[in-house]
């Protein structure tokens, strides 16, 4: 199977029997997937970062949190179809904005705790446009920013005539400390400029997956073979799929048991030789 094609694996997720429950630790070969909240949440104390990673143990983090879009949809007219709704299987994506910002600062701080001094965090987010206002992810500017990359999605589902067509999202390249130099090899990058034109993923089993080419570009240029790549909101598992294909180890956290089951399914299809264990017990289904 070629790189970039594995997200086209059709899975029929609604037929997938979900054997995973919150709190399960899943071993997929040498990769690890924790079904839990990656950070403390109003209903759950999280230990994911500290149980999976040691301080300064991770070479690269690639992640995209939920965007809190429902909060912006609430009480707003949907007649113009301006904000594309994202329906996760269980996560509601609807926090008061101040709480959301606190949560996101907490997760970025924990990512930086886990990163090695030579490591990088790639944090994807979007400008939410609603009612002639733009909500920009300003909280990232509290952290040492190495570069801002523009993801050109080569299309948009949003056709509101009162805006220029919004084709882009942000990828913030954040480093552990302002004086540190993260590992980077531009010769290994597929896309060498800071505008990445990559169509959205065709993955049918998750509402907001990364395109594999985006993760590939980051992993190839900002990590080496055998390095540890981490994703605290791993969703449909794109980061693990790419890391495996590029001979990197991946740890990930995902709150939704259904998506964790999907990742097991995808990884087994990608590489049937991978042994799966759930909480230490071999899983054969």
Ligand X SMILES: C[S@@+](CC[C@H](N)C(=O)[O-])C[C@H]1O[C@@H](n2cnc3c(N)ncnc32)[C@H](O)[C@@H]1O
Report the interface residues with ligand X, using CB under 6 A: 37-39, 41, 64-66, 88, 91, 206, 208-210, 233, 235-236, 238, 253-256, 259
Using the minimum distance from each CB to ligand X, give the nearer residue, 27 or 36.
Answer: 36
**Smallest distance from the beta carbon of 91 to ligand X, in angstroms?**
4
**Nearest 10 degrees: CA dihedral of 183, 194, 105, 139?**
140
- By beta-carbon proximity to ligand X, the closer residue of 12 and 161 is 12
Q: Which is nearer to ligand X, 227 or 256 (CB)?
A: 256
Half-sphere exposure of 170 (CA within 13 A, CB side): 19
Closer CB to ligand X, residue 103 or residue 143? Answer: 103
Q: Cβ closer to ligand X: 6 or 39?
A: 39
Evaluated on CA atoms 277, 216, 22, 14, the torsion sign reads: negative
Q: Which single residue brings its beta carbon nearest to ligand X?
A: 235
Helix 238-245 and helix 257-270, axial crossing angle in degrees, nearest 10: 20
Q: How far is the CB of 260 from ligand X (least distance, A)?
A: 10
Please say whether the beta carbons of 222 and 62 come within 8 A.
no
Least CB distance to ligand X at residue 78 (A)? 21
User: Which of the 8 DSSP states describes residue 26?
Assistant: E
Q: Tell me the helix, strand and coil percentages in the chain, rounded to 5.
A: 25, 25, 50
Smallest distance from ligand X to CB 69, Å:
10
Smallest gap from Cβ 51 to ligand X, in A, equals: 13
């Amino acid at each position: 199977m070629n790189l970039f094609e594995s997200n086209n694996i059709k899975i029929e997720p609604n037929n997938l029997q979900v054997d995973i429950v919150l709190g399960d630790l899943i071993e997929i070969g040498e990769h690890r997937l924790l079904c839990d909240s990656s950070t403390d949440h109003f209903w759950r104390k999280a230990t994911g970062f500290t149980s999976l990673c040691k301080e300064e143990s991770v070479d690269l983090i690639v992640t995209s949190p939920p965007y809190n879009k429902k909060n912006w949809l609430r009480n707003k007219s949907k007649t113009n179809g301006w904000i594309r709704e994202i329906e996760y299987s269980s996560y509601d994506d609807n926090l008061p904005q101040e709480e959301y910002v606190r949560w996101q600062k907490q997760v970025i701080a924990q990512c930086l705790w886990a990163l090695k001094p030579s490591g990088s965090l790639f944090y994807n987010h979007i400008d939410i446009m609603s009612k002639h206002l733009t909500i920009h992810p300003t909280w990232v500017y509290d952290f040492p920013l190495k570069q801002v990359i523009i993801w050109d999605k080569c299309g948009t589902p949003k056709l509101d005539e009162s805006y220029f067509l919004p084709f882009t999202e942000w990828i913030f390249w954040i480093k552990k400390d302002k004086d540190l130099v993260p590992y980077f090899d531009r010769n290994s990058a597929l896309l060498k400029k800071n505008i990445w034109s990559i169509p959205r993923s065709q993955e049918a089993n998750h509402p907001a997956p990364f395109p594999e080419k985006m993760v590939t570009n980051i992993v190839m240029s900002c990590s080496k073979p055998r390095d540890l790549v981490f994703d605290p909101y791993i969703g449909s598992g794109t980061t693990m799929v790419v890391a495996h294909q590029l001979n990197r180890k991946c740890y990930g956290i995902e709150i939704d048991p259904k998506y964790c089951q999907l990742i097991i399914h995808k990884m087994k299809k990608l590489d049937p030789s991978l042994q799966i264990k759930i909480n230490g017990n071999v899983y054969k289904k």
